[in-house]
Chains A and B, each alone.
Chain A
Amino acid sequence: MIAVDGKIEQIIADFPILARPTSRGKRLVYLDSAATSQKPRAVIQALVDYYEQYNANIHRGVYELAARATAEFEQARVKLARFIGAETNEIVWVRNTTEAVNLVAYSWGNANVRAGDAILLTELEHHSDLVPWQLLAQRTGAELRFIPVDERGRYVLDDLDALLDGCKLVACAHVSNTLGTILPLDVVIPRAHAAGAVVLVDGAQGAPHLAVNVKALDADFYTFSGHKMLGPTGIGVLYGKHELLAGMPPFFSGGDMIRKVGYAQTTFADPPRRFEAGTSNIADAIAYGVAVEYLQGVGMEWVREHERALTAYALQRLAEFEPRGLAIYGPRDPAAISGVISFNLADVHAHDLASILDTEGICVRAGHHCTMPLMEKMGWSATARASFYIYNTEADVDALCAGIEKAARLFGI
């Protein structure tokens, strides 16, 4: 399964937390990377280096420390731009995907969406790519529409052109955080553009796991978070086409985003700094740059193939429990999903299952995964979710299955 002998062992050795046993003395089996990923030593070290060696504010000081901090911070922007095939001035630093979506909803949305316009989402959206658009629709009188999914969480695109009629904006998850479904952006984006709509892709679960080139995709906005892709919390990226960003008013305002300020009037800096008011999250941006360098070193094609193979193995192993009431949700084709599997064991509630797995050192998410409308549509009150990343192995899947076996025994299944 693993392309290069010893590569996975090298990767695992780069993550200090994976070598720490749990409080019960178990090996940590971390299967919740869709919530947040673990961090390699190089990323942690980058944070320490900034604070120990060149901590200073950026874009203002004339002394050497400030110059180095500014250079490292702006170099991180270059690294992120290269990672997704963008221009450097199209990378706006934000706290996370949620902030990026809100920035677009308020800045671009307030200026461009009018009563009677439609905003097209999908039924798989995370709350962070749903609630900001509900609020925009309430502010403007726009109508929300949804690309439907079938009972296995596969997109139904038959009526796409009708859904796009009158649409100002399409906002859609590249990868579903609950079911792993990959949206065929190569189908949706050209048709959205043909209908005159701008497309925002919520890449929170896409950028960490799939090779992304925003120019090849022709996405207008692409949003993603550092902490789900080996980087720190509190730093994320809004990619926007330069001509779109250049036409947008500020979202937050204050220092660092201005050109000239008078007591009565202010002119604003060009993007991306127009959208970066106040002192930025310097350390985390720099460490995020190190994280994407690490991913490029591993190779995003390798990441995808590793996760696809591991998902195929997990689907096959989990299927062994189906005769005893294990329900597996989402598409069953490993090529159609990205390292995420939602499931339930008979009448064992997902929280009970997760608690029992926890006693074996296995971390899975249980609940509604911030997709409550999807859960309601499907009739699931909660699901357990295992999600994979570069440091997971077949041994982790085997541990998961042993944990499920324990839960089945405790519940007399």
Chain B
Amino acid sequence: MDDFYRDYILDHYRHPRNFGHLERIDAQAEDLNPLCGDQIRMELELDDGVVKDVRFSGKGCAISQASASMLTERVKGMKLDDVAKLSKDAVLEDVGIGISPTRMKCAMLGLRVLKSAAIGELAGWPDEE
């Protein structure tokens, strides 16, 4: 688990990409992990069913914030339908390092919120699908 705290993870934690808010919001969602209080909000700007721009905001641990930050880089230009189909493997591929079972919810919070924005209702936990 200490392998997780690599330079690029800490870089995303301390300098999150696409952090903040959009002027035009076509889809949005937010949620928190009740176990630890981590919060993520995702805002999407769409163009003909494609993610034109994305912003996230929130607070929490390095795992939740860095994985959300990396996710925003992945989904720009992606079809909304494909965003809704993203699996936990996408996040695990981005973070590149094994996540312990006790921290899996932290890593999946951003994806859950993003998928919720894409489908317009609260999505399930990606690690439980």
Where the two chains meet, the residues of A that have a C-beta atom closer than 8 Å to any C-beta of B are 347-352, 355-356, 358-359, 366-368, 372, 375, 381-382, 406, 410-412
Contacts and interface: CB of A to CB of B under 8 A. Distances in A.
Given A355-B103, A382-B37, A412 B1 contact: no
Contact of B37 (A347, A358, A381, A410): A381
B37 A368 contact: yes
Contacts of B103: 351, 355
B126 interface: no
Given A351-B36, A356-B1, A358-B1, A411 B10 contact: yes
Contacts of B35: 367
A229 B20 CA distance: 47
Nearest to A412: B10
Contacts of B61: 349-352
Contacts of A412: 10
A372 B36 CA distance: 11
Contact of A351 (B2, B14, B63): B63
B5 interface: yes
B60 A349 contact: yes
A381 B33 CA distance: 12
B63 A352 contact: yes
Contacts of B38: 351
A351 B59 CA distance: 12
A366 B5 contact: no
B62 interface: yes
Contacts of B1: 355-356, 358-359
Contacts of A352: 5, 61-63
A367 B5 contact: no
B60 A356 contact: no
B37 A367 contact: yes
Contacts of A351: 36, 38, 60-61, 63, 103, 106
Contacts of B14: 347
Interface in B1-16: 1-2, 4-5, 10, 14
A367 to B, nearest CB: 5
Interface of B: 1-2, 4-5, 10, 14, 35-38, 59-63, 100, 102-103, 106
A406 B37 contact: no
A355 B36 contact: no
B53 to A, nearest CB: 27
A342 to B, nearest CB: 14
Nearest to A356: B2
A356 B5 contact: yes
A358 B59 CA distance: 22
Nearest to B106: A351
Nearest to A368: B37
A358 B35 CA distance: 18
A368 B103 CA distance: 16
5 contacts: A350-B61, A352-B5, A352-B63, A355-B2, A367-B37
Contacts of A350: 61
A406 B2 contact: yes
Nearest to A367: B36
**Which 4 residue pairs spanning A and B have beta carbons closest together?**
A349-B61, A351-B61, A410-B5, A359-B2
B109 to A, nearest CB: 12
A328 to B, nearest CB: 20
Nearest to A406: B2
Nearest to B14: A347
Contacts of A358: 1
A23 to B, nearest CB: 11
B59 A381 contact: yes
Contacts of A355: 1-2, 4, 100, 102-103
Contacts of B2: 355-356, 359, 406, 410
Contacts of B36: 351, 366-368, 382
Contacts of A347: 14
Contacts of B5: 352, 356, 410-411
Contacts of A406: 2
B104 to A, nearest CB: 12
A356 B10 CA distance: 14
A367 B106 CA distance: 13
Contacts of B62: 348-349, 352
Nearest to A349: B61
A357 to B, nearest CB: 10
A61 B36 CA distance: 48
A410 B3 CA distance: 9
